[in-house]
Chains A and B, each alone.
Chain A
Amino acid sequence: MIRKAMLALLLGTLVIGLSGCGERPTKIYKQGKYQGKKDTQPWDNEQFKGDRMAWENAEKARAQNENEYTRVN
């Protein structure tokens, strides 16, 4: 019984002690190159379903709302 307890204590100490030896993967920076997460394209969603032209046309139509000469006349 004491032997089992000693063994468990030893194993526990080893697990806790060795956990400090773990190494997390290091990020190696490459100067001048974006290192972050990849972004999704604005047309990759349910609304545009990957259709880039549809998205561009929507943006251009929206921009024309800023042109009061076409809105008023």
Chain B
Amino acid sequence: MARMKFLCDAERCIVCNGCVTACKNENEVPWGVNRRRVVTINQGVPGEKAVSVACMHCSDAPCMAVCPVDCFYKTDEGIVLHDKDLCIGCGYCFYACPFGAPQFPQDGAFGLRGKMDKCTYCAGGPEPNFSQAEFKKYGRNRIAEGKLPLCAEMCSTKALLAGDADVISDIYRTRVLRRGTGSEIWGWGTAYGRPEKAASPQGGK
């Protein structure tokens, strides 16, 4: 097993927010906390795209690097989890995360910032599997049931894929080859331009 990852196919996402609802319901996420959100880019402009964003379970996670109490850990499958008993709610991880994944419940008095909550890849947390404590603090442990995160399994258009990186990459690759578009969405070329175009000779021999 390589690494468990999410992959969102922007060509397929129809902004139904089914993933958001499924996540909130399955994990009984409190009000004000969204472990997953759907972000629309260039909304209203022809060719707008939408991506479903949650914790991306980074291979080199910045939240882990900045946590002053080191409450983060990575499982053998590459899922980034944290111990809520240790979290002090400082919010450093929120500033470090490029995806805005860490969430803080603010239902207490005087704008109290509670312990951080984020997507667990439906893998629970550092409590005994399927225990009440695990469900209360971290949500459902579907991974230990041999299942995948509900957001991806619920996705009606299968825009959101979850699973072993190699497996979902294969699924995505097959899809891109069949439909003939979509591979150019991601990568260096999209982010920084195509070097072969910039370096093309202008009227030279």
Contact = CB atoms under 8 A, between A and B. Distances in A.
A complexed with B: yes
A47 B146 contact: yes
Interface string A38-73: 111111110110000001101110111111110000
B33 interface: no
Nearest to B79: A42
A61 B80 CA distance: 23
Contacts of A24: none
A63 B164 contact: yes
B40 interface: no
Given A37-B126, A68-B158, A59 B163 contact: yes
Q: Per DSSP, are chain A's interface residues mostly helix, strand or loop, or mixed?
A: loop
A59 B69 contact: no
B126 A38 contact: yes
Contact of A36 (B83, B146, B178): B83
Most buried by B among A32, A33, A45: A45
Interface of B: 1, 68-73, 75-77, 81-83, 85-86, 123-130, 141, 143-148, 152-153, 158, 161-164, 167-168, 171, 174-175, 178
Interface of A: 29-45, 47-48, 55-56, 58-60, 62-69
